Amino acid sequence: MSTWQNPLRDPRDKRLPRIAGPCGLVIFGVTGDLSRKKLMPAIYDLANRGLLPPGFALTGFARREWENQDFAQVVYEAVKAHARTPFRQEVWDRLAEGIRFVQGTFDDDEAFDRLAETVRQLDEERGTGGNHAFYLSIPPAAFPVVCKQLARSGLAHQDGESWRRVVIEKPFGHDLESARELNQIVNEVFPEESVFRIDHYLGKETVQNILALRFANQLYEPIWNANYVDHVQITMAEDIGLGGRAGYYDGIGAARDVIQNHLLQLMAFTTIEDPVSFSPQSLRTERIKVLAATKPAQPFSETTARGQYTGGWQGGKKVPGLLEEEGFPPDSKTETFAAITLEVNTRRWAGVPFYLRTGKRLGRRVTEIAVMFKRAPHLPFDQTSTEELGQNAVVIRIQPDEGITIRFGSKVPGTTMEVRDVTMDFSYGRAFTESSPEAYERLILDVLLGEPSLFPVADEIERSWEILDPILEFWSQQGRPDPYAPGEWGPPSADKMLARTGRTWRHP
């Protein structure tokens, strides 16, 4: 089969999109927010771009007493409200023909048998060819029972001709041990190559652009190392609080929620060595290598900080503190801000600290990677003329306002020699982002195509817990997180953490 070549495919033909082969998608937890706001619109957008196979089937599974058409109505509304591309009746009609709903609970054998029957019928009616992906948009606690049900009802069974894949979302455990357990549960039913773990950051164009920036250009790579880089700051800040998310967040905290997955993946992309090729395998190899070389810097009392937001005024509104949010116990030790220091023990990065921080109720919503460069070894100006000169920086803005900023010194116009920081900006553009695909579109399509580049494997998940676990353990022995006012950039301890080495956080 491998020798057969499709005569209509020419590698030079860049116009032809890769359309997924005949297949269907089953979503568990269709009533959830993610499912309505991201998954369903993304599926429609893919259909609208002509990237789904003819006869594509979408099956929902949930407890609600719905008929197929009720579910179709829910999808329709989600698409109308959240789809990125314009609504086209003829595209919707084709998609709607393939929408099914199966009512049941996860412990209900009969419901899963009905699901198996539905899927089999779809193979007949729609020609999905036995290829199905199962999207588990459900709490991880439900994974074991759902996986068991998928195995029992034969839904997980794949033969040589057809495939079955499973898609899971974060959190991938809450420490190394639980992550291993979870991987084991999933791998008992699905082999590792059929497991797709979604980290939606990896589906973002800007994140993929890091690789283009680094490896397609001559300009950056020569200085992308410890000789020139002073330190790196990776920030993911949100301005919203945790109202209504206590069930998920309490006891988890910012580090587990964001650093373990998104920030460590961003760091991996920033620090990897050139992959041998852009094949999924070699990219993974490099990511795992760099994660294995990464260690948290000690002592933790000086290299980490954590905080919890208090009540106060933010952006013209009075907002409650975490302890007053509904569902959080008044003595909750859950951190809503976390900052850690990592070191990457490779020849390229030895001695360069990587500062990762994330938090809720911070100044504004922003995610960026700032590579801060060392000062020029000698400045042929007198002291006063470079007073206002900072460090050169390359900032990769992940969201919002995707793009790249370069900061450097420039002469201030006038008769005196005075140098001040200016920025040079590349922007994907406000308008451009409207039509650049959503991360979920890319990722769902990759699942259907069986293209694993942008999905972390079990090994990566376990490596990242190994990095984070010692810090979490240290924190668990400390008291409460430091309080910080809403709308600020974290507690004073975060600033002290950098001040010890004479550095400051960038204002993102």
Residues annotated within a binding site: 63, 170, 200, 204, 238, 257, 360
State the minimum distance, in angstroms, from the CB of residue 207 to other proteins. 19
Find the binding residues for other proteins in span 149-168 (CB under 8 A). 161
Burial of 108 (0-12, 13-18, 19+ CB in 10 A): middle
Question: 174, 262, 378, 507: which one is catalytic?
Answer: 262
State the minimum distance, in angstroms, from the CB of residue 64 to other proteins. 28
Tell me the C-alpha to C-alpha distance, in Å, between residue 505 and each of 154, 222, 370, 477, 492. Answer: 53, 25, 10, 27, 11
Binding site as annotated, residues for substrate: 200, 204, 238, 257, 360
Nearer to other proteins, 65 or 161 (CB): 161
Taking alpha carbons only, the member of 136, 66, 126 closest to residue 95 is 126
Binding mask 103-142 for other proteins (x = CB under 8 A): ---------------------xxxx-x-------------
State the minimum distance, in angstroms, from the CB of residue 90 to other proteins. 5
Q: Residues 4, 218, 382, 476: which binds other proteins (CB under 8 A)?
A: 4
Phi, psi of 403 (to 5 degrees): 165, -165
Taking alpha carbons only, the member of 42, 43, 74, 79 closest to residue 58 is 43
Structure-token pair, residue 432: 């451009």
The answer to whether residues 439 and 203 touch, using CB atoms and an 8 Å cutoff, is yes
Q: Residues 14, 317, 347, 507: which binds other proteins (CB under 8 A)?
A: 14
The answer to whether residues 359 and 241 touch, using CB atoms and an 8 Å cutoff, is no
Q: Does 86 bind other proteins (CB under 8 A)?
A: no
Nearer to other proteins, 15 or 347 (CB): 15
Residue 222: DSSP 8-state = G
Nearer to other proteins, 11 or 299 (CB): 11
Active site residue 262: yes
Q: Does 65 bind other proteins (CB under 8 A)?
A: no
Q: Residues 67, 77, 97, 109: which binds other proteins (CB under 8 A)?
A: 97
Binding site as annotated, residues for NADP(+): 63, 170
State the minimum distance, in angstroms, from the CB of residue 205 to other proteins. 12
Helix 264-271 vs helix 280-292: angle between axes, to the nearest 10 degrees? 100
Longest dimension (CA), the chain: 84
Taking alpha carbons only, the member of 168, 236, 248, 173 closest to residue 469 is 173
State the minimum distance, in angstroms, from the CB of residue 41 to other proteins. 17
State the minimum distance, in angstroms, from the CB of residue 431 to other proteins. 4
Dist. CA 224–CA 221, nearest whole Å: 5
Q: Does 7 bind other proteins (CB under 8 A)?
A: yes
Phi, psi of 378 (to 5 degrees): -140, 130
* CA 131 and chain centroid, separation: 26
Phi, psi of 95 (to 5 degrees): -65, -45
Nearer to other proteins, 48 or 209 (CB): 48
Q: How many residues bind other proteins (CB under 8 A)?
A: 44
Nearer to other proteins, 81 or 424 (CB): 424
* CA 63 and chain centroid, separation: 28
Find the binding residues for other proteins in span 420-479 (CB under 8 A). 425-427, 429-432, 434-436
Nearer to other proteins, 93 or 382 (CB): 93
Q: In this structure, how many other beta carbons lie within 10 angstroms of the beta carbon of residue 371?
A: 22
Dist. CA 68–CA 45, nearest whole Å: 21
- What is the set of active-site residues? 262
Q: Which residues bind other proteins (CB under 8 A)?
A: 1, 4, 6-10, 12-17, 19, 21-22, 47-48, 50, 53-55, 88, 90-91, 93-94, 97, 124-127, 129, 161, 425-427, 429-432, 434-436
